[in-house]
Amino acid sequence: MSDNRALYIEEAITGAVKRLLTGKVNDVLKGLEFQIPIIEFGIFRGDTVIAPLVSLSSCEQTEKERIIKQDTYSVTVTFPVLDTVESELYCYAYAAAFQKALCEDLTLGGVADRAIITSKKYVPPKKADCGMEWETIITFRVTVDSL
């Protein structure tokens, strides 16, 4: 695979994940009976908006993926949640909304062949009520045909 194609694929995957978060995940969150802060990308954060971190790295391929020439990536989405009374509920809501949105679009809008959640982790602050944040960390594996 050429370096330009690899760069394009990586940008396409992160862009598709961000579109999924601001589109379908926000739609799911808006449909809940609780008011959950929506997802936006930018520098603004507050009580009504969060800005998750999306990071991508290549990961180890299975023998089958090597044979059929598929590239594999590991994508991690971290949702930082301000420490409030509802923080734990928000963490679970983000994880459920993301899982539902990803199940409805396993190809990330046609960018990937398949995306599967591999882990979900809920991290409370090390010290309660001292300004630290909760985090929901979702890791999923993306496979893409290499040319």
SS3 81: strand
What is the domain-level CATH number for residue 92? 3.30.70
* Nearest by Cα to 117 from 131, 128, 127, 104: 104
Question: Pairing state of beta strands 133-145 and 70-82?
Answer: antiparallel
**Would the pTM of this model clear 0.95, i.e. be above it?**
no
Residue 39 is part of which domain span?
3-145
Counted domains in the chain: 1
Mean pLDDT (10-residue bins), the chain, 147 residues: 66 95 96 92 81 89 78 93 90 96 94 94 83 90 84
List, in sequence order, the alpha helices (H) in the chain. 3-20, 26-30, 63-67, 87-104
Nearest to 135 by CA among 94, 74, 85: 94
